[in-house]
Structure 1
């Protein structure tokens, strides 16, 4: 039996055990209001009122464990009809964390590298942003963050406001980092800066990240964010229907 025959049979078969879809249940009881606050800020609204010209929205997070992988043989640049060739074998040159704050409406990125993530590295990022204009003298600067340990809970919000009274920390719901626009920027960094990972050392990784930031800030436009509170309500309604159907199927199976 040829390999092509097996491949054709598998392609035609309705049962494909190697394919899967994953999901996660919403466990945050405040999912809707927390998500709505973030989405409102993206359209420059807070608590039903439009933001002023001296109010800004920052989306921030950390990208952990960016490694310096020194390839044992030099990488060959792409050529005519040839992809880039990257040797699989490498030696490890350490790892760093990349922290970034993205101004949602100005499409401006502020980044820094640290040895690790944590409260102090995150506050270093905040200080980097809030010590310069227009944020230092702004009426209000909203910081959208997820629930990572560096900025989790009310203590983190109080710490931020104590350091910079014109700031407000806004948490995404639990397991909803996809609502944080800086994650889109990190996906760009992953594709255009880090992949393929071929850094001689961590200094080279830092320099490339910094160079990309400079270039990005000269050409970037705000992300065309299209997910609204109406879309959020539609999503939650679909999830409720799906959950109800799942419970009915489970009850029927138990009764049978």
Structure 2
């Protein structure tokens, strides 16, 4: 016993946190609270006599509690009847219940928030564990829940976005787009040079989309440029909105040239204006094939009337599936443009914004990049592409 008084109880962090929660509870037996405190004090290195004096109990009670801990563990030291309180382990059913709670939307359980936080999930589990039939979880610790979720590879605190395939013909339409990309690939020889037919009739393929709502924003005070003392650009947090512009743009997938049209809107009339730019740009014998989405301006009565005025076969539209804009290669171009040029841009007028957009296209077209599509291209044979 003398040696036992001088040793520290080997408590894990989880056991220590559990005992601390028991020592503060008012809804369990007083003797369980005392036993929890005995074990905590002993883990801190207090002697039997010091513990007895602090809790106003006998040293025999202290010795018995510590002895039971050494012989049978935490449960044996705390409870007279086996498993009348905390089970030795959290059961699989209790773990499954925790997972089901983590998978639910907090708003459906009476919370205002959309996503769980670790604190709110911990609080909910503790509050509702007993009524759900898992009393052990009423004292589960926040670090345990965090560790448990990590083991299950669950992150109910985060949102990861995806595109729902709402188009019933998604696979068919995607296949049509991939066929176009395969046909483009076949228009180049093994050296990467464009193969020009003897009759000089080419099928020009343009990847097209709109980028509406580009904001013209001006500073209310001049930016402070980097200095040796301050390496960043310093900018006044206040700004002034000057309106928005729309960008209609296409990429010639044979040459990599980017073709812009900046407008106040992106209506059918604007789209028709872009088609006129393409019609003027390419020889009359060429077919202009455009990969584009299902925006109403692309299929409107006004657009169809314009196409009826064009020579037969001059324009051919290939539509991406709904929620399949990622199949259109110009999306990558817009992403690059946002990073390189539009991010943090400040202008003095909408006119300046328009001029700088056109200037960006001039810079890009000095060294055009021919885009090559790779995804699922191994599923498209040259024979199938040639037969279409």
RMSD of aligned C-alpha atoms? 2.9
| Greater percentage in helix | 2
Match of 1:162 in 2: 308
Which of 120, 124, 142 does residue 289 from structure 2 map onto? 142
Change (3 A) 1:93 1:23: same
Corresponding residue number in structure 1 for 2:320: 172
Equivalent residue number for residue 36 of structure 1: 175
Q: Which region of structure 1 is more displaced relative to structure 2, 177-186 or 52-61? A: 52-61
**Aligned positions of 1:14-33 closer than 5 A:** 14=150, 16-33=155-172
Which structure is richer in relative contact order (CA contacts within 8 A, separation 6 or more)? 1
Aligned residues of 1:59 and 1:101 also touching (Cα < 8 A): yes
Q: Deviations over 1:6-31 (max 9, x none)?
A: 9xx69866254331223343221221
Alignment of 1:1-256 (within 5 A): 14=150, 16-44=155-183, 54-79=202-227, 82-132=231-281, 135-152=282-299, 158-159=304-305, 161-165=307-311, 166-230=314-378
The structure where strand makes up a greater share of residues is: 1
Decide which moves more: 107-116 or 17-26.
17-26
Provide the rounded CA distance (Å) in 2 between the counterparts of 1:164 and 1:192.
37
How far 1:125 moved relative to its partner?
Answer: 0.8
Residue 228 and residue 156 in structure 1: after superposition, are their counterparts in 2 closer, same or farther (change >3 A)?
A: farther
Q: CA deviation at 1:189?
A: 1.5
TM-superposed deviation, 1:167: 0.9
Q: Is the 8 A contact 2:210 2:246 kept in 1?
A: yes
Contact residue 184 and residue 254 of structure 2 kept, 8 A: no
Contact 2:182 2:377 in 1 (8 A): no
Aligned residues between the structures: 219
- TM norm structure 1: 0.75
Q: Does the residue aligned with 2:244 lie in a helix, a strand or coil?
A: strand
Distance (Å, rounded) in 2 between the aligned partners of 1:149 and 1:86: 40
- Give the distance between the partners of 1:104 and 1:115, measured in 2 at CA: 27
Q: Give 1 or 2 for the bigger CA radius of gyration.
A: 2
Mark the CA change 1:148 to 1:198 in structure 2 (over 3 Å): closer, same or farther: same
1:97-155 deviation line (CA, Å, top 9, x unaligned) = 011111112101110111111100011011012112xx2323311011111222147x5
Match of 1:197, SS state, is coil
Scaled by the length of structure 2, the TM-score of the pair is 0.51
Partner-residue secondary structure (3-state), 1:183: helix
Change in CA separation of 1:22 and 1:204 when aligned onto 2, cut-off 3 Å = same
What is the Cα deviation at residue 168 of structure 1? 0.3
Does the 8 Å CA contact 2:257/2:368 hold for their aligned counterparts?
yes
Distance 1:32 1:98 in 2: 29
Q: Structure 1 regions of 5+ residues with no counterpart?
A: 1-5, 233-256
Q: Does structure 2 conserve the Cα–Cα contact (< 8 Å) formed by 1:101 and 1:125?
A: no
